[in-house]
Structure 1
Amino acid sequence: MRFALVTALSIALGACAALPGDGPAAINISAQDIEGDATVSGYSLISINSSNIEAIKRYRPLAFANEFKGVGNGGSSTLLGVGDTLMVGIWEAAPDGLFSSGEAGYSQIPAVIDESGHIFIPYAGRVRASGLSVEGLRQSIQNKLIGKAVEPQVLVTLQEKLSKTAVVVGDVAKPGVYPLPLRNTRLLDLVASAGGSREATYETVVTLKRGRRSGTTRLEHLIDYPENNVLIAPNDNVLLSHRPRTFSAFGAVKSNQLVPFRTKSVTLAEALATVGGLNDFRADAGGIFLFRYEDADLVRELRPQAADRVNGASTVPVVYRLNLRDPSGFFTARFFEMRDKDILYVSNHPTAELGKFLQIIAPLISNVSTVQGITD
């Protein structure tokens, strides 16, 4: 019987690595070979501590700005184009001239540049407007009226520059097509013209599509990081979408769940508190992990030795580790901010795995003891 008991225990111990669980143990995530070689593990492991938390806090997510750097001049061309709306004023030196009749003593003629690029002015006929500046069109009209009007003076005013527009759609108060003024127009200017977002800025993402280029960022990042407030170019398409932020909590926490952000910012300490903190009977306080895709520039700064492995990538998988066995870890957790779609995982303590193992083999030991007692 003793032999049977030893055999049963050996089989159970051999299967210990296959015990039921809700995730990897801390040793599986932070093994020496994984920490030393991201190409083997597929991710980089970075410990959150007082030496690097400042670098993490001051990092500025500018991937959106870099996508559109140097692309687009920010406003309309000064040259007129098809669809532009004009007002042409004509004065004459004589009170009985072609355009000076009436109380005003001059005539105002509204005009829209047609698909062929021309406008029509009485007695001047069809005048080429597309491709000219406002001043160039003024001189062209005035020259065509010489000999027909008495010392004509012409003023051309641009009413709406509909030849250069951008489109704003989605969760905005007033979606539509917006003409771009001659001055530089930035993304926030355009969003403001459309009435702004219908939802909270920290729950709204903005997508800018320019030709084959496309970029997405949080609306609040246009304010927090002014570099992201890029210049708008003609024919840009802007989409605002309501996209509430969430993070997922797994492992040895009191409540495994998908958690929405209730405020603009949520720290790692607040995230742990939201899910009820660590499970006293299972959690490894030294094995708190956060999984996310991190900007490659930040990874290069935090782990210079991994620079050659992240070259050419914009984002790379990173696992941050927090050790709450060290009291300073609680202070560090106050400054580490969560992001959308983060995964928070608390690993089981090794003794919790031992407890599972004992629960599994307890019936087997009991049965063997019963059989031995009957035999004796």
Structure 2
Amino acid sequence: MTDVEQDIASSDYLVIPVDSHVAEVAGRYRPQKFADYFGIKSRRETQIIGVGDKLRINIWEADSQGLFSTVEGKSTAIGSVVDQSGRIFVPYAGRIQASGRSVESVRTIIQNALVGKAIEPQVQVTVEGNQTNSAVIVGDVGKPGTYPISLAGTRLLELVANAGGSRAKTFETMVTLKRGNRQAATLLQDLFDVPENNVLLVKGDNVLLTQKARSFTAFGAVTKTTIKEFPTQTVSLAEALAMSGGLNDRSADPRGVYLFRFEDADVVRKFRNVKSGELLTDAFQVPVVYKLNLRDPKAWFLARYFEMRDKDMLYVANHNTAEFGKFLQIIQPLLSSARATQLIAETAGN
């Protein structure tokens, strides 16, 4: 164990050397499914009629002499809007409670109410103006507003497309879905990468799109201490080192490259021979320090496939001789002065 590891070793952290198994599990991991966050489901719900919805009611009869027959045919189309009381009016059927019921339920009620009044009535109900079954999208989109949810079901990506799409790059756009008192967030890119994340919307859903540039921090014995934004969708550990100017040739210890991250507990549970103690007890994220030894040629290949995540902290330890070098720099002026004095004295003596 190096001096750095001795300093950070604690029951509050896990120090995990990066090998091929760790690189595969953690470096290529995609976060928990957006659909599972906070119990948000992707199931399709039955469309319910609400106040303000516009309905079209088509009524057919078996005889041209019926109540709803016309010169043109044996049917009549009636338009109706659900009023504040949640009711609609249908001739000869009266005022019918529509709000809170499905389209099929309202159709059945109207048809049964017309039995004995119309001649073998057949009824069809369609929703033309869907004010209740809608979702709201705001933020960094082309056309924010309220959009209806179709009977076939509208998915999150469809809503974003209908609203004109995101103004920012997909891997820099955070999508937040609020449903009742629950909410979840994921990158817009994750809706493409993980199809299950592209959930079906339900009435009352609120969607917020915000631009969120991802970044990492590099410090320690690197050429340049910096905070860097991700220029592309993915950035590997090797690329992150290059973006920070690489290791400082004079002070860096290639054996001590560390990545600090709050890792998902599900990932840590997959690591072999990791004694986590109480860290994984009811934990959602675990403080983890990944260690990479660049003296091993294999580590360079692992660094290429180990992907960085937002807010990762990259630290390169100083070599043991670096501290001695700093000491020499401090005393160098003193040594130079002493040497100059000695030369003067030797010259004077001659």
Cα-to-partner distance string for 1:42-63 (whole Å, 9 max, x where unaligned): 3221111234222224533116
Q: Is the 8 A contact 1:74 1:185 kept in 2?
A: no
Query: Aligned to 1:298, which of 256, 267, 282?
Result: 267
1: CA distance between counterparts of 2:227 and 2:71? 73
What residue is the counterpart of 2:86 in the other structure?
117
What residue is the counterpart of 1:313 in the other structure?
283
Matches within 5 A, 1:1-376: 27-31=2-6, 34-35=8-9, 38-39=10-11, 42-62=12-32, 64-69=34-39, 71-72=40-41, 74-95=43-64, 97-146=66-115, 148-302=117-271, 304-364=274-334
Q: Which 10-residue stretch deviates more, 45-54 or 223-232?
A: 223-232
> Cα offset for 1:111?
1.4
Q: Is the 8 A contact 1:76 1:181 kept in 2?
A: no
2: CA distance between counterparts of 1:283 and 1:322? 13
Give identity over the alignment, percent.
53
CA gap of 1:270–1:72, structure 2 versus 1, over 3 A, is: closer
> Cα offset for 1:324?
1.1
> Cα offset for 1:232?
3.1
Q: Is the 8 A contact 1:73 1:184 kept in 2?
A: no
2: CA distance between counterparts of 1:216 and 1:128? 38
Q: Which runs of 5+ in 2 are unaligned?
A: none
2: CA distance between counterparts of 1:336 and 1:85? 54
> Cα offset for 1:193?
3.6
Cα-to-partner distance string for 1:152-193 (whole Å, 9 max, x where unaligned): 433222334432332222122332223333445443343334
1:351 corresponds to which letter in structure 2?
T
> Cα offset for 1:131?
3.7
What residue is the counterpart of 1:10 in the other structure?
none
2:135 corresponds to which letter in structure 1?
A
1:190 corresponds to which letter in structure 2?
L
> Cα offset for 1:274?
1.9
Q: Which 10-residue stretch deviates more, 324-333 or 164-173?
A: 164-173
CA gap of 1:93–1:222, structure 2 versus 1, over 3 A, is: closer
Cα-to-partner distance string for 1:319-365 (whole Å, 9 max, x where unaligned): 21111111111111111111112122222222221111122234455
Cα-to-partner distance string for 1:263-321 (whole Å, 9 max, x where unaligned): 11111111112222112122111111122211111122225310532222211222211
2: CA distance between counterparts of 1:73 and 1:83? 26
> Cα offset for 1:129?
1.8
1:49 corresponds to which letter in structure 2?
D
Q: Is the 8 A contact 2:35 2:41 kept in 1?
A: no
What residue is the counterpart of 1:20 in the other structure?
none
2: CA distance between counterparts of 1:73 and 1:337? 29
Q: Is the 8 A contact 1:62 1:228 kept in 2?
A: no
- Name whichever structure is richer in helix by fraction: 1
Q: Secondary structure at the match of 1:310?
A: coil
2:314 corresponds to which letter in structure 1?
L
2:218 corresponds to which letter in structure 1?
A
2:237 corresponds to which letter in structure 1?
L
Cα-to-partner distance string for 1:180-221 (whole Å, 9 max, x where unaligned): 334454433433343432222111111122223222221222
Q: Which runs of 5+ in 1 are unaligned?
A: 1-25
1: CA distance between counterparts of 2:33 and 2:98? 40
Q: Secondary structure at the match of 2:276?
A: helix
Q: Is the 8 A contact 1:76 1:164 kept in 2?
A: no
Aligned length: 344
1: CA distance between counterparts of 2:51 and 2:310? 44
TM-score (norm 1): 0.80
> Cα offset for 1:259?
1.5
1:336 corresponds to which letter in structure 2?
F
CA gap of 1:43–1:360, structure 2 versus 1, over 3 A, is: same
